[in-house]
Amino acid sequence: MRKKIIAGNWKMNKTPKEAAELIETLKGGINTNMVDVVLCVPYIDIIPAAEALKGTNISLGAQNVYFEESGAYTGEVSPSMLKECGVEYVIAGHSERREYFGETDEIVNKKLKKIIEHGMTPILCCGETLSQRELGVTIEWIRMQIKGALNGIAADDVKNIVIAYEPIWAIGTGKTATSDQAQEVCGQIRQAVRELYGREASQSVRIQYGGSVNASNAAEIFAKEDIDGGLVGGASLKEEFVKIVNY
Ligand code: PEP
Protein backbone atom coordinates (compact mmCIF):
# COMPACT_ATOMS: atom_id res chain seq x y z
CA MET A 1 0.00 0.00 0.00
CA ARG A 2 1.56 3.27 -1.09
CA LYS A 3 1.45 6.11 1.43
CA LYS A 4 -0.05 9.30 0.00
CA ILE A 5 2.26 12.26 -0.37
CA ILE A 6 1.10 15.85 -0.58
CA ALA A 7 3.63 18.54 -1.39
CA GLY A 8 3.25 22.30 -1.47
CA ASN A 9 5.16 24.18 -4.15
CA TRP A 10 5.46 27.74 -2.93
CA LYS A 11 7.15 28.87 -6.16
CA MET A 12 8.67 32.39 -5.86
CA ASN A 13 6.55 33.43 -2.89
CA LYS A 14 7.24 34.31 0.76
CA THR A 15 10.21 36.09 2.26
CA PRO A 16 12.11 34.22 5.02
CA LYS A 17 10.02 35.98 7.69
CA GLU A 18 6.76 35.26 5.88
CA ALA A 19 7.83 31.63 5.37
CA ALA A 20 8.32 31.10 9.10
CA GLU A 21 4.95 32.75 9.78
CA LEU A 22 3.12 30.59 7.25
CA ILE A 23 4.65 27.42 8.67
CA GLU A 24 3.54 28.47 12.16
CA THR A 25 0.00 28.87 10.81
CA LEU A 26 -0.01 25.54 8.98
CA LYS A 27 1.84 23.16 11.24
CA GLY A 28 -0.67 22.98 14.10
CA GLY A 29 -3.45 21.87 11.77
CA ILE A 30 -1.62 19.43 9.53
CA ASN A 31 -2.13 15.76 10.35
CA THR A 32 0.82 13.66 9.18
CA ASN A 33 -0.46 10.29 10.44
CA MET A 34 -1.79 9.10 7.10
CA VAL A 35 0.14 11.16 4.55
CA ASP A 36 3.66 12.38 3.94
CA VAL A 37 3.69 16.16 3.77
CA VAL A 38 6.39 18.24 2.11
CA LEU A 39 6.86 21.99 1.79
CA CYS A 40 8.97 23.00 -1.22
CA VAL A 41 10.07 26.52 -0.39
CA PRO A 42 12.32 29.05 -2.19
CA TYR A 43 16.07 28.56 -1.55
CA ILE A 44 16.29 31.62 0.70
CA ASP A 45 13.53 30.24 2.94
CA ILE A 46 15.11 26.81 3.46
CA ILE A 47 17.01 27.61 6.66
CA PRO A 48 14.17 29.44 8.44
CA ALA A 49 11.71 26.79 7.22
CA ALA A 50 13.92 24.00 8.62
CA GLU A 51 13.92 25.79 11.96
CA ALA A 52 10.14 26.32 11.93
CA LEU A 53 9.52 22.66 11.00
CA LYS A 54 11.59 21.25 13.87
CA GLY A 55 9.55 18.86 15.99
CA THR A 56 7.00 18.21 13.20
CA ASN A 57 6.79 15.34 10.71
CA ILE A 58 6.53 17.76 7.81
CA SER A 59 9.43 17.39 5.38
CA LEU A 60 11.38 20.16 3.78
CA GLY A 61 11.68 20.36 0.01
CA ALA A 62 13.49 22.53 -2.53
CA GLN A 63 12.13 23.61 -5.90
CA ASN A 64 15.32 23.13 -7.86
CA VAL A 65 19.01 22.18 -7.62
CA TYR A 66 22.06 22.29 -9.85
CA PHE A 67 23.65 19.06 -11.06
CA GLU A 68 27.26 19.89 -10.27
CA GLU A 69 28.90 19.45 -6.86
CA SER A 70 30.59 22.87 -6.59
CA GLY A 71 32.50 25.43 -8.59
CA ALA A 72 32.06 28.36 -10.93
CA TYR A 73 28.29 28.22 -11.44
CA THR A 74 27.20 31.68 -10.38
CA GLY A 75 23.74 31.74 -8.88
CA GLU A 76 23.33 27.98 -8.55
CA VAL A 77 22.84 25.79 -5.46
CA SER A 78 24.38 22.33 -5.12
CA PRO A 79 22.79 19.11 -3.84
CA SER A 80 25.09 18.95 -0.80
CA MET A 81 24.13 22.50 0.18
CA LEU A 82 20.48 21.46 0.21
CA LYS A 83 21.19 18.22 2.01
CA GLU A 84 23.11 19.94 4.78
CA CYS A 85 20.16 22.27 5.39
CA GLY A 86 17.80 19.35 5.95
CA VAL A 87 16.17 19.17 2.52
CA GLU A 88 14.63 15.74 1.84
CA TYR A 89 12.73 16.31 -1.43
CA VAL A 90 13.65 18.28 -4.55
CA ILE A 91 11.30 19.17 -7.41
CA ALA A 92 12.89 18.54 -10.81
CA GLY A 93 11.56 19.45 -14.23
CA HIS A 94 8.65 21.64 -13.18
CA SER A 95 6.99 23.00 -16.33
CA GLU A 96 7.83 26.57 -15.29
CA ARG A 97 11.52 25.65 -15.22
CA ARG A 98 11.23 23.89 -18.56
CA GLU A 99 9.43 26.88 -20.10
CA TYR A 100 11.26 29.87 -18.61
CA PHE A 101 14.70 28.41 -17.91
CA GLY A 102 15.15 26.02 -20.82
CA GLU A 103 15.32 22.80 -18.79
CA THR A 104 15.37 19.78 -21.07
CA ASP A 105 14.79 16.11 -20.22
CA GLU A 106 18.57 15.71 -20.32
CA ILE A 107 19.11 18.40 -17.68
CA VAL A 108 16.28 16.97 -15.57
CA ASN A 109 17.92 13.54 -15.82
CA LYS A 110 21.25 14.94 -14.55
CA LYS A 111 19.47 16.64 -11.66
CA LEU A 112 17.58 13.47 -10.75
CA LYS A 113 20.81 11.48 -10.59
CA LYS A 114 22.41 14.03 -8.26
CA ILE A 115 19.35 14.28 -6.02
CA ILE A 116 19.32 10.49 -5.63
CA GLU A 117 23.11 10.30 -5.15
CA HIS A 118 22.77 12.72 -2.23
CA GLY A 119 20.06 10.69 -0.57
CA MET A 120 17.19 13.06 -1.31
CA THR A 121 13.95 12.22 -3.12
CA PRO A 122 13.19 13.81 -6.48
CA ILE A 123 9.68 14.95 -7.34
CA LEU A 124 9.84 14.59 -11.11
CA CYS A 125 7.28 16.73 -12.94
CA CYS A 126 5.82 15.92 -16.32
CA GLY A 127 2.80 17.16 -18.23
CA GLU A 128 1.36 18.19 -21.55
CA THR A 129 0.30 21.54 -22.99
CA LEU A 130 -3.31 22.18 -24.01
CA SER A 131 -2.43 21.85 -27.69
CA GLN A 132 -0.71 18.51 -27.09
CA ARG A 133 -3.85 17.30 -25.32
CA GLU A 134 -6.05 18.52 -28.16
CA LEU A 135 -3.78 16.81 -30.69
CA GLY A 136 -4.14 13.54 -28.77
CA VAL A 137 -0.42 13.13 -28.06
CA THR A 138 -0.56 13.46 -24.24
CA ILE A 139 0.41 9.89 -23.38
CA GLU A 140 3.15 9.69 -25.99
CA TRP A 141 4.63 12.99 -24.80
CA ILE A 142 4.59 12.03 -21.15
CA ARG A 143 6.11 8.61 -21.82
CA MET A 144 8.92 10.41 -23.61
CA GLN A 145 9.46 12.82 -20.71
CA ILE A 146 9.54 9.95 -18.20
CA LYS A 147 11.89 7.84 -20.30
CA GLY A 148 14.27 10.78 -20.81
CA ALA A 149 14.25 11.89 -17.18
CA LEU A 150 14.81 8.40 -15.79
CA ASN A 151 17.47 7.35 -18.29
CA GLY A 152 20.25 5.39 -16.57
CA ILE A 153 18.58 5.37 -13.15
CA ALA A 154 18.36 1.95 -11.49
CA ALA A 155 14.98 0.30 -10.77
CA ASP A 156 15.80 0.29 -7.05
CA ASP A 157 16.07 4.08 -7.13
CA VAL A 158 13.08 4.57 -9.40
CA LYS A 159 10.82 2.85 -6.90
CA ASN A 160 11.55 5.53 -4.29
CA ILE A 161 11.02 8.61 -6.42
CA VAL A 162 7.87 10.69 -6.74
CA ILE A 163 6.44 11.57 -10.14
CA ALA A 164 4.05 14.52 -10.43
CA TYR A 165 1.68 14.57 -13.37
CA GLU A 166 0.95 18.23 -13.98
CA PRO A 167 -1.01 19.12 -17.11
CA ILE A 168 0.36 22.55 -17.99
CA TRP A 169 -3.09 23.85 -18.90
CA ALA A 170 -4.22 23.17 -15.33
CA ILE A 171 -1.34 24.85 -13.48
CA GLY A 172 -2.34 28.10 -11.81
CA THR A 173 -5.35 28.42 -14.11
CA GLY A 174 -8.10 27.26 -11.77
CA LYS A 175 -8.87 24.67 -14.47
CA THR A 176 -8.43 21.22 -12.92
CA ALA A 177 -8.22 17.99 -14.87
CA THR A 178 -11.20 15.80 -14.03
CA SER A 179 -10.34 12.97 -11.67
CA ASP A 180 -10.82 10.55 -14.60
CA GLN A 181 -8.45 12.51 -16.85
CA ALA A 182 -5.86 12.62 -14.06
CA GLN A 183 -6.27 8.90 -13.32
CA GLU A 184 -5.92 8.00 -16.99
CA VAL A 185 -2.54 9.70 -17.32
CA CYS A 186 -1.26 8.60 -13.89
CA GLY A 187 -2.18 5.01 -14.79
CA GLN A 188 -0.25 5.35 -18.04
CA ILE A 189 2.75 6.74 -16.16
CA ARG A 190 2.69 3.69 -13.89
CA GLN A 191 2.45 1.49 -16.96
CA ALA A 192 5.44 3.25 -18.55
CA VAL A 193 7.48 2.71 -15.36
CA ARG A 194 6.46 -0.95 -15.41
CA GLU A 195 7.65 -1.40 -18.98
CA LEU A 196 10.95 0.30 -18.23
CA TYR A 197 11.72 -0.94 -14.70
CA GLY A 198 9.41 -3.82 -13.91
CA ARG A 199 6.38 -4.45 -11.75
CA GLU A 200 7.96 -3.83 -8.34
CA ALA A 201 9.21 -0.36 -9.27
CA SER A 202 5.87 0.52 -10.88
CA GLN A 203 3.90 -0.54 -7.81
CA SER A 204 6.16 1.38 -5.41
CA VAL A 205 6.64 4.64 -7.28
CA ARG A 206 4.33 7.37 -5.98
CA ILE A 207 2.50 9.43 -8.57
CA GLN A 208 0.96 12.77 -7.69
CA TYR A 209 -1.48 14.92 -9.60
CA GLY A 210 -0.84 18.67 -9.74
CA GLY A 211 -2.86 21.45 -11.34
CA SER A 212 -5.24 23.69 -9.40
CA VAL A 213 -5.75 21.18 -6.59
CA ASN A 214 -7.87 22.78 -3.85
CA ALA A 215 -9.82 21.82 -0.74
CA SER A 216 -12.93 20.96 -2.76
CA ASN A 217 -11.40 18.71 -5.42
CA ALA A 218 -8.57 17.00 -3.47
CA ALA A 219 -10.56 14.11 -2.00
CA GLU A 220 -12.02 13.02 -5.34
CA ILE A 221 -8.67 13.21 -7.16
CA PHE A 222 -6.66 11.49 -4.41
CA ALA A 223 -9.19 8.64 -4.25
CA LYS A 224 -8.17 7.41 -7.70
CA GLU A 225 -6.26 4.16 -7.92
CA ASP A 226 -3.03 5.45 -9.42
CA ILE A 227 -2.97 8.86 -7.76
CA ASP A 228 -0.89 8.89 -4.60
CA GLY A 229 -1.40 12.50 -3.57
CA GLY A 230 -0.80 15.92 -5.03
CA LEU A 231 1.63 18.69 -5.85
CA VAL A 232 -0.14 21.87 -4.83
CA GLY A 233 0.87 25.36 -5.94
CA GLY A 234 -1.41 28.31 -5.16
CA ALA A 235 -3.45 26.61 -2.45
CA SER A 236 -0.30 25.64 -0.51
CA LEU A 237 0.26 29.30 0.36
CA LYS A 238 -2.94 29.49 2.35
CA GLU A 239 -4.57 27.79 5.32
CA GLU A 240 -6.51 25.84 2.67
CA PHE A 241 -3.41 23.59 2.44
CA VAL A 242 -4.32 22.16 5.86
CA LYS A 243 -7.72 21.07 4.48
CA ILE A 244 -6.07 19.52 1.41
CA VAL A 245 -3.65 17.51 3.55
CA ASN A 246 -6.37 16.42 5.96
CA TYR A 247 -8.75 15.56 3.11
C1 PEP B 1 2.36 23.68 -9.44
O2 PEP B 1 2.91 24.69 -9.76
O3 PEP B 1 3.03 22.66 -9.23
C4 PEP B 1 0.90 23.68 -9.34
C5 PEP B 1 0.26 22.55 -9.38
O6 PEP B 1 0.28 24.89 -9.20
P7 PEP B 1 -1.28 25.18 -8.92
O8 PEP B 1 -1.71 24.24 -7.83
O9 PEP B 1 -1.32 26.62 -8.50
O10 PEP B 1 -1.99 24.91 -10.19
Q: Going residue by residue through the chain, which has 247 residues, state the pLDDT in tens, using 9 for 90 and above.
A: 899 999 999 999 999 999 999 999 999 999 999 999 999 999 999 999 999 999 999 999 999 999 999 999 999 999 999 999 999 999 999 999 999 999 999 999 999 999 999 999 999 999 999 999 999 999 999 999 999 999 999 999 999 999 999 999 999 888 889 999 999 999 999 999 999 999 999 999 999 999 999 999 999 999 999 999 999 999 999 999 999 999 9
Please give the positions annotated as active site: 94, 166
Beta bridge partners of residue 123, listed in sequence order: 91, 162
Name the E strands within the chain: 4-9, 35-41, 59-62, 89-92, 121-126, 162-165, 206-210, 229-232
The pairing of beta strand 206-210 with beta strand 121-126 = unpaired
Measured from CB, residues less than 6 Å from any atom of ligand 1 are 9, 166, 171-172, 210-213, 231-235
Question: Best mutation site among 6, 9, 125, 244 for ligand 1, i.e. most ligand atoms within 8 A of its Cβ?
Answer: 9
Q: Which of 165, 232, 244 should be mutated for ligand 1, with most atoms under 8 A from CB? A: 232
